[in-house]
Structure 1
Amino acid sequence: MDFSKPDLIDKDALVFSEYVWSTIYGDKPFPKEYFGNHQKGLKALGLKIDSNYKDDDD
């Protein structure tokens, strides 16, 4: 997996996430529409990115 930049998701991360999901939820479909970049799927949920948000590096 490439951790050189934030939210850089590759195929291996998706496969791993699907595996972890299946161990918890069994045959329930993995929600790929919300996987990866934090902005994906927000519009469908009626959400948006807060342009005033500042990361506090905790």
Structure 2
Amino acid sequence: MPWNKQEYPPSMKNLDARVRNKAIEIANALLEEDYEEGRAIATAKAEEWDQNHPQDE
């Protein structure tokens, strides 16, 4: 089931909105490739992305 900004896994609930949106994007891409652990991977990758892409730029 693809996720969106209104419906996403509970594990993403406490993420900053910017990071959560990226995690949703990553998780949906992983789901398309049949990854079962997509949520955990997506959360970690979104947090890594956030660190590498500061909002001030």
Which is helix-richer, 1 or 2?
2
Give the alignment's TM-score, normalised by structure 1: 0.30
Based on CA coordinates, which of the two structures has the bigger radius of gyration? Answer: 1
Give the alignment's TM-score, normalised by structure 2: 0.31
Higher relative contact order (CA 8 A, sep 6+): 2
